A = this chain, B = another copy of it.
Amino acid sequence: MTQKEPITVAITGAAGNIAYSLIFRICSGELFGTDQPFNLNLIDIEPGMSILEGLVMELQDSNFHLINKTICTTDPFEGFRDADYAILLGAYPRNKNQTRKDLLGKNAPIFKIQGKALSLVAKRTVKVVVVGNPVNTNALMTTKFAENIPKENIIALTRLDMNRSISQLSRKLNKNVSNIKNVFTWGNHSASQFVDLSNGYLLEGSKKTPLTQLVEEEWIYGKFQKTNQMRGKEVLLKRGRSSAGSAANAIIDCLKSWIYGTENYVSMGVISDNNPYNVPENLIFSFPCTCKNGTWQIAKDLKPNDFCKKMIKKNVEELVEERRIAFELLKD
């Protein structure tokens, strides 16, 4: 048996909780295949280094035969070297007294330097998934400064929003999650996000029933949206810790779609250039996408209704404002 060449997977915020939920699943071979060895480049800030050393000990003690080499570093120029995949979990953590401007201000320089590092040392074909919030604008910063990396290679995770919608529909309809298709979110990963189920359907055998025939309009535009927006806070309240396992799972789902393809629409925060929905260029915006041969395409043939158009506009305004603030702060 010839062994595959190792790929390199870089993860920032690797000492955090999402990383802890993510890395063991990656190492089991679930994402890249049980015959695909890899180098694992773990990146975090200085106070995380001891935690990373402990994590590496645990990975060793898990006897993951796919791990070729592991490094722990604070330096993105070392960590992103030759990366085939970069998962950017790290971001400046939100605290209660922070305005959005504060948060954007703290994150902009982080993603500026990471963009530069990716540009300089990662493979030009690197696939980058940004997860740290405010994720859309963080991903946009990354595209701006990663000059050598095609913008299409850098996406923001909005899959958890989609997964949460499907989870909610599954409970509402008392059907398995796998029967619910083509539900997705538009726009920003924020309270403004809009879940669109006007193209969604329930698949049973070969029978497709539009979701709009199964749930009331009032619920779609009311409780459904609200529950989705508040889901993260609800989990935090119950667990006493924010979502980690489900976030890690959404990253795996998103990368599986991107790498292996998907026929149905999935939510991905992607560069808005050349979209058919009047979203201005140069934003990272959650669109319904399909994937094939390692590339994504924005769904072309959808007809958002008037309410949806209004929500797209609201998200555009919010993201244009985030972009303005972030780039202004970077000028200083």
Q: Does A246 contact B (CB under 8 A)?
A: yes
Q: Is A213 an interface residue (CB 8 A)?
A: no
Complex interface bits, A62-100 against B, C-beta within 8 A gives 1, otherwise 0: 111100000000000000000000000000000000000
| A11 contacts the other chain (CB 8 A) | no
**Segment among A20-28, A105-113, A276-284, A292-300 that sits at the interface with chain B:** A20-28
Residues from 225 to 269 in A contacting B, C-beta threshold 8 Å: 231, 234-240, 243-246, 248-250, 253
Protomer copies:
2
Q: In the complex, are the beta carbons of A62 and B239 less than 8 A apart?
A: no
Structural contact, A170 and B60, CB atoms closer than 8 A = yes
A203 at the interface (CB under 8 A from B): no
In the complex, what distance in Å separates the CA atom of A30 from the CA atom of B26?
Answer: 12
CA distance A245 to B20 in the complex (A): 8
Q: Of B58, B61, B64, B238, which one neighbours A50 at CB under 8 angstroms?
A: B238
Query: B61 to A240, Cβ gap below 8 A?
Result: no
Contact A54 B238 (CB under 8 A): yes
Instruction: Tell whether A171 is near chain B: CB-to-CB under 8 Å.
Output: yes
**Contact indicator A61/B231 (Cβ below 8 Å):** yes
Question: Is A120 part of the contact surface with B, judged by Cβ < 8 Å?
Answer: no
Is A178 an interface position by the 8 A CB rule?
A: yes
A153 within 8 A of B: no
- A 187-231 contacts with B by CB, 8 A: 231
Which stretch of A141-149, A159-167, A321-329 is in the interface? A159-167
A63 → B minimal CB distance (Å): 4
Q: Which residues of A contact B (CB under 8 A)?
A: 20-21, 23-25, 28, 30, 50-51, 53-55, 57-65, 160, 163-164, 166-167, 170-171, 176-178, 231, 234-240, 243-246, 248-250, 253
User: A55-B239, A61-B249 are known contacts; what are 6 more A-B pairs with Cβ within 8 Å?
Assistant: A20-B245, A21-B24, A51-B240, A58-B239, A58-B246, A63-B178
